[in-house]
Amino acid sequence: MSLEEERREYRYGRLTKKSLQDTPSAQFESWMSQALEAKIQDPTAMSIGTLGPNGMPWQRIVLLKGFSDDGLVFYTNLGSQKAQEFKHHNQVSALFPWLQMDRQVIVAGLIQPMSAAESAAYFLSRPRESQLAAWTSHQSRSISSRQFLDAQFQSMKSKFQKGKIPVPDFWGGFRIVPQQWEFWQGGENRLHDRFRYVKVESGDQWEINRLAP
């Protein structure tokens, strides 16, 4: 299989320093709004990069469930590989691959557990089937078959047939507290526009630099 000729030009738009918002969260909100308006597929999907205890990097897609000046929020099984890796390395990165708009947003920062109250509030807002799935799957553990997983789901469905489904004690949320952001806009002839926001140590200000493509 030859992939050498697989390429296209990026012509969606340009990004200038003048057009950037003063803070990365404001810039992210602007781009997220545009992504939602354009109805691109899975705009809230982000690839989370972690380091294992042996230093091996790993990535997976999770869904962004909230953001503010404080950071980016997502939820997961607390026994999952990523949650366990957070215990060894609290540094994390996230990538939003908005390919339909020739854009990427990259965030690097520190991981912070959400409070039990915050996690419970979100869990109880989820569709009932998603709540059952959280109880069903001991994420990242080996299982014998798909049939086993389906049987577990039916078992949980019967167990919680009546009333509200409680929040599992092995499920919760995390916040990525950003230290750096990068906004990437694809450009013609591979001359992309890249801008990086870096947190200034002495306060809440951000330094913005254009990067070579």
Separation of CA 133 from chain center:
20
Told to judge if 190 belongs to the known catalytic residues of this protein, a careful annotator would answer yes
Torsion-angle region of 103 (φ positive above 0: left; ψ -120 to 50: alpha; else: beta): beta
Whether the Cβ atoms of residue 172 and residue 113 lie closer than 8 Å to each other: yes
> Could you give the angle at the alpha carbon of 108 between the alpha carbons of 120 and 41, nearest 5°?
70
Side chain identity at 179, as an amino acid letter?
A: Q
Whether the Cβ atoms of residue 30 and residue 183 lie closer than 8 Å to each other: no
> Which position among 11, 128, 141, 190 bears the catalytic label?
190
Using CA of residue 13, residue 183, residue 52, residue 135, what is the dihedral sign? Answer: negative
Closest-CA residue to 168 (of 147, 138, 127)? 138
Side chain identity at 38, as an amino acid letter?
A: A
Interhelix angle 146-159/128-136, nearest 10 degrees: 120
Structure tokens at 102: 């020739």
Catalytic residues: 190
